[in-house]
Chain A
Amino acid sequence: MSYQINEELLRFRPKMAQDKVIFNDFNLWYGEKHALIDINIAVKSNIVTAFMGPSGCGKSSLLRGINRMNDIIPVARSTGEVLIDGKNIMGSGINVYDLRKRVGMVFQRPNPFPMSIYDNIAYAPLLHDVAEEEELDKIVENSLRGAALWDEVKDRLDDSAFSLSGGQQQRLCIARALSINPDIILMDEPCSALDPIATIKIEALMRELKEKYTVVLVTHNLQQAARVSEMTAFMYIGEIIEFGATRDIFENPREELTEKYITGRFG
């Protein structure tokens, strides 16, 4: 099997980029189950980092470690540090709501609120009292532009979000994540419920987004990781087996497990 690695990605060197999110000895349990084991990686700023690995290996759990969405799972418990811009978000004195305003999240299945397109985007800014009316219009427009959706919906902002196609809904969810003006965007298999055309659009969008944001992408799809991510972490049963430049992971994996996974000789 061979992978089409994006040319631009080939030029990437991890040393060129700054650390944005650092996991230090991060461990996570669901009840008795040790779901993440001694995670130590640094996610770099302004690139796309992919977490890949077989189902159940802990990709989503690791992603949720970045905006502390594991907190809402009653049985989840964790140790270790997660630093964002050098500050431990697991520490006391961290306001988790403020943290989540800095980290946008996009889910596996498009999950717009049952509201109009406009209200979906205005939701968070209104909640966080950002906004005067004109300012709100501006935020909505910018967020939709940022998600490459503005031209398709600018004349129907009052329509229900459900009137959009699946791919448009997912871009709406990306726009909604942009509305809080985050610096990090987490995407948990954002294309797995979409058709190929919609997938291509979202991937193109990811490449644009990293200009302004740090993007972390969970994906099952190896081709996708190769197409859009500068760095890739390969995970297996709760551990990071290998983490590095996507090119290295795909062309010269150091670990046998990684190679097996990449070449499809797995399990």
Chain B
Amino acid sequence: MNPVSREKIMKRLLLIAVALSLIILPVILIWVGYNGSGIISIEFLTSRPRLFEYGGIYPQIMGSVYLVSLCTLFGAPLGIASAIYLAEYAPDNRITQSVRFFTETLAGMPSIVIGLFGLEFLVFYLQLKTSLLAGAISLSFMMLPWTIRASEEAIKTVPQEYRAASLALGATKWQTIVNVVIPAAMPGILTGVLLGVGKAVGETAVVWLTAGSGLEAFVPRSLSSPTGSLPMYIYLLATQAHTVEGVQRAYGASLVLLIMFLGVSVSALMARNYYLRRLGN
């Protein structure tokens, strides 16, 4: 085969590969939308599950919201604080490098392992029971590495000139970090936090082992209440429902979950743009 026709064939093949991978996402969206939209109603969104595969998903929606909010409440400050330390204070030595490597690794850690740790350590050893608190803390382990990594990156890309300007005005290092570096890094930090939140929203294995069985009929009333969540609900109905109604509900819950996830992503984008505009870019 001559090089010119080979070039042409390769180009076609690449194009097909691109088309295939680009088409998967819309197909999933449409698939879920198509199968899930039928069941969506006020009733479905505001009532509790009944007889395993009937009723609504209100406690699951609220459970997911609580879990993710609480997880963010723990994970975001901790992650940002770690990132500040790593980027601004940590000496550039072996220990720091290992911590960084560890964070990278944690980001790829199979979630079932984090779930197992949450179960053994939080649920049993610290006796938090399968609960909102145990679930949220475990989820924040999932979220942390993503938040740390993106935030550290964002803090490091803040130009050195800003720091010099602030220090030369008599600001301390900490004042400089709080008043100049963090605001300038905010778009990146937010992206990091929301990347982590995105991970937490859809996480199944971790909540399964630490938060609740999934079909809880009540919105959690306290930190120690068992807490259902959308991913768990979907998992249960998708694998164990016997009726069309059950499968339909799995799709309906998937659609709601997807919308929540998109909501997080869109707010990430909006927050990012807002800060970028405020920073004047």
Which residues of A come within 8 Å of B, CB atoms? 67, 69, 72, 97-101, 103-105, 107, 109, 111-115, 123-124, 127-128, 160-163, 173, 176-177, 179-180
Contact = CB atoms under 8 A, between A and B. Distances in A.
A180 B170 CA distance: 9
B170 A173 contact: no
A160 B280 CA distance: 5
Contact of A128 (B161, B165, B170): B170
Given A113-B180, A114-B184, A162 B281 contact: yes
The range of chain B's interface size is 20 to 34
A56 to B, nearest CB: 19
B183 A114 contact: yes
A69 B167 contact: yes
Given A72-B164, A109-B161, A111-B162, A123 B280 contact: no
Contact of A69 (B159, B168, B281): B168
Contacts of A103: 168
A188 to B, nearest CB: 10
B166 interface: yes
Interface of B: 159, 161-162, 164-172, 175, 179-180, 183-184, 278-281
A99 B169 CA distance: 9
A60 B151 CA distance: 32
B179 A123 contact: yes
B167 A123 contact: no
Given A127-B179, A161-B280, A113 B170 contact: no
Contacts of B168: 67, 69, 100, 103-105, 177
26 contacts: A72-B164, A72-B167, A98-B170, A99-B170, A100-B167, A100-B168, A100-B169, A101-B169, A104-B168, A109-B161, A111-B159, A111-B162, A111-B165, A114-B183, A114-B184, A114-B279, A115-B279, A115-B280, A124-B169, A127-B169, A127-B171, A128-B170, A162-B280, A163-B280, A177-B168, A180-B170
Contacts of A160: 278-280
A107 B171 contact: no
B247 to A, nearest CB: 51
Contacts of B166: 113, 123
Nearest to A126: B179
Nearest to A101: B170
Contact of B165 (A67, A127, A163, A173): A173
Q: Which 10 pairs show the lowest CB-CB distances between chains A and B?
A: A160-B280, A111-B161, A114-B279, A101-B170, A105-B168, A162-B280, A100-B170, A124-B169, A97-B170, A111-B165
Contacts of A115: 183, 279-280
A100 B166 CA distance: 10
Taking chain B's interface residues, is the majority helix, strand, or loop, or is none over half, making it mixed? helix
A209 to B, nearest CB: 17
Contacts of A97: 170-172
Contacts of A123: 166, 169, 179-180
Contacts of A104: 168-169
B170 A114 contact: no
Given A111-B159, A114-B184, A160-B279, A180 B165 contact: no
Nearest to B165: A111
A157 B278 CA distance: 14
B155 to A, nearest CB: 14
A21 to B, nearest CB: 16
Interface centre among B162, B169, B184, B281 (most CB of A within 10 A): B169
Given A111-B159, A124-B169, A69 B164 contact: yes
B172 A107 contact: no
Contacts of B159: 111
Interface centre among B166, B170, B280 (most CB of A within 10 A): B170
Contacts of B170: 97-101, 124, 127-128, 180
Contacts of A105: 165, 168
A119 B161 CA distance: 17
Contacts of B169: 100-101, 104, 123-124, 127, 176-177, 179-180
Given A72-B164, A124-B171, A177-B169, 16 more contacts: A67-B168, A72-B167, A100-B167, A100-B169, A101-B170, A104-B168, A105-B168, A107-B161, A109-B161, A111-B162, A112-B165, A114-B184, A115-B280, A128-B170, A160-B280, A173-B165
A72 B173 CA distance: 10
B180 to A, nearest CB: 6
A123 B180 CA distance: 9
Nearest to B171: A127
A109 B280 CA distance: 18
A173 B168 CA distance: 12
Contacts of A112: 165
A99 B161 CA distance: 20
